[in-house]
Amino acid sequence: MHSAAVDRVIAEVERARDEIVDFAARLVRIPTVNPPGADYEACASVIGDQLRAHGASVHLLPALGRVEHTPEHPRINVVGRHDGVSNGHAIHLNGHFDVVPVGLGWTRDPFGGEVEAGRLYGRGSCDMKSGVAAAVFAAEAIRRAGVRHAAPIEISGTVDEESGGFAGVGWLAEQKWISHERTRAVIIPEPFGVDRVCIGHRGVYWFEVIAEGRIAHGSMPYLGVNAIEGMSHFLDLVRDELGPALHQRVTAMPVVPEGSRRATININGIDGGQPVDDVPSPCVADRCRVVFDRRFLLEEGLEKARTEIAALLQKAQARMPEVTFAIADRLIFEPTQAPEDAPLIGALTRAIEKVTGRAASLVASPGTYDQKHVARIAGVPQCVAYGPGELALAHQPDEYCSVDDIISCTKVLALAVMELST
Ligand SMILES: [Zn+2]
């Protein structure tokens, strides 16, 4: 890359400092809370207007055909495109603009978008409206610096990441707005910090175990079969056998925090027998359901995780043959990891070193994010997350993002996109 162009792009980001922070604050003031998916249309329009003001061609895209897309809560995504000289495969920056509910414990207005002592406060400031602002202005800094780029640069703002992203990035990928036929690389500015590039995440296997017994009068429990008791055998096996076995398995992926380098299982919820808040009638519980969240490693694979659960259930079945057990899948996301020699990773790590003066580190995420849709549906393996904010502040009360981090990340994104697109 020409070093004069690099300096011009960095200077343009610096010059736009207040504009970038103002834009991020404006996004924070739109309460795009998910669930239920509020104010998506307003937020998509604000992003679209900004992109249009920067000379991009803009499409507002309702997620037609998705059940989540309703008249009360329309799912509207936005894509802006700066054409390149050659218009081959695009470099795509994608950020979600939905935020999780406010929750308790705030000392500030969660939708005030206040900037104080170098921090932008509010729900979504860290996860990830500052990232969206950084993406929009990274492309703009390249334009203002007068740098000609061969590849098109696209920026999308999408919905529903916090609830799986099916009407957001999943939908854009299904509709080929992001696809291996037209997209070379995708950067998602999720809040992993100014010097960390996130290359992927573990897999998710959410499943439900259902135990059925036989109802009887509670004063004569020996005449029935208690489904909760049956489930307790399975829960014992999860705690005593599966849990310790999973703890022995460590992935080679650089997952942070380090505890999540191991395979894990969580019991999300349990429901069985009579509702405990109603006036109970004396009955033997004939049904019990438990939902589990199993995070599996790239090295394990989904089939191994599934087979293991099925075998464990057979063991529980043998301990209490009168109970009928069944498994139902709830949600499956395969693990994903960008190839470590991807040009995208090289471009970002070089840009991080240039802007921060520090070495970049590669990390992987404990939870999933929209990278799964880019990798699996769009078929674009060159996808990573890189953006401003500290992961630990996401979804917390008094969430904030450091203004310096927003500016640094905008510079890094601009330099990386410039390298990849010219
Ligand atoms: Zn996020």
pLDDT at 404 over 80: yes
User: What are the structure tokens assigned to 397, written together?
Assistant: 């009360």
User: What are the structure tokens assigned to 52, written together?
Assistant: 């249009």
**95, 409 contact by CB (below 8 A):** no
Q: What pLDDT does 275 receive?
A: 86
Cα(95) to centroid of ligand 1, in Å?
8
Q: 20 falls in which pLDDT band (50, 70, 90)?
A: very high
Question: Which tens digits make up the pLDDT trace of 216-266?
Answer: 999 999 999 999 999 999 999 999 999 999 999 999 999 999 999 999 999
Cα(126) to centroid of ligand 1, in Å?
8
pLDDT at 213 over 90: yes
Q: 276 falls in which pLDDT band (50, 70, 90)?
A: confident
Pick from 356, 337, 320, 179: nearest CA to 251: 337
CA angle 12, 17, 19 (to 5 degrees): 100
* Percent of residues, the chain, with pLDDT higher than 90: 95
Cα(125) to centroid of ligand 1, in Å?
10
Alpha-carbon distance 206 to 114, whole Å? 38
Q: What pLDDT does 154 receive?
A: 98
**228, 275 contact by CB (below 8 A):** no
Pick from 388, 384, 337, 412: nearest CA to 185: 384
List, in sequence order, every residue forming a beta bridge with 58; answer none if it has no partner.
80
DSSP letter string, 343-360: HHHHHHHHHHHHHHSS--
pLDDT at 2 over 90: no
pLDDT at 12 over 80: yes
**pTM of the predicted model, to two decimals?**
0.91
Cα(161) to centroid of ligand 1, in Å?
7
DSSP state of 219: T
Cα(288) to centroid of ligand 1, in Å?
34
pLDDT at 368 over 80: yes
Cα(369) to centroid of ligand 1, in Å?
7
Cα(214) to centroid of ligand 1, in Å?
45
Q: What pLDDT does 87 receive?
A: 82
Question: Which tens digits make up the pLDDT trace of 295-348?
Answer: 999 999 999 999 999 999 999 999 999 999 999 999 999 999 999 899 999 999
Cα(34) to centroid of ligand 1, in Å?
12
Cα(78) to centroid of ligand 1, in Å?
17
Question: Which tens digits make up the pLDDT trace of 129-155?
Answer: 999 999 999 999 999 999 999 999 999
Pairing of the two strands 203-212 and 196-201: unpaired
* Percent of residues, the chain, with pLDDT higher than 70: 100
DSSP letter string, 284-341: ---EEEEEEEEEE-TTT-HHHHHHHHHHHHHHHHHH-TTSEEEEEEEEEE--EE--TT
Alpha-carbon distance 263 to 269, whole Å? 19
Cα(364) to centroid of ligand 1, in Å?
14
Query: How big is the chain, counted in residues?
Result: 422
Q: What pLDDT does 108 receive?
A: 97
Cα(99) to centroid of ligand 1, in Å?
8
Cα(238) to centroid of ligand 1, in Å?
30
Cα(96) to centroid of ligand 1, in Å?
7
Cα(240) to centroid of ligand 1, in Å?
34
User: What are the structure tokens assigned to 361, written together?
Assistant: 């580190």
CA angle 231, 232, 233 (to 5 degrees): 90
Question: Which tens digits make up the pLDDT trace of 58-94?
Answer: 999 999 999 999 999 999 999 999 999 998 999 999 9
Cα(154) to centroid of ligand 1, in Å?
19
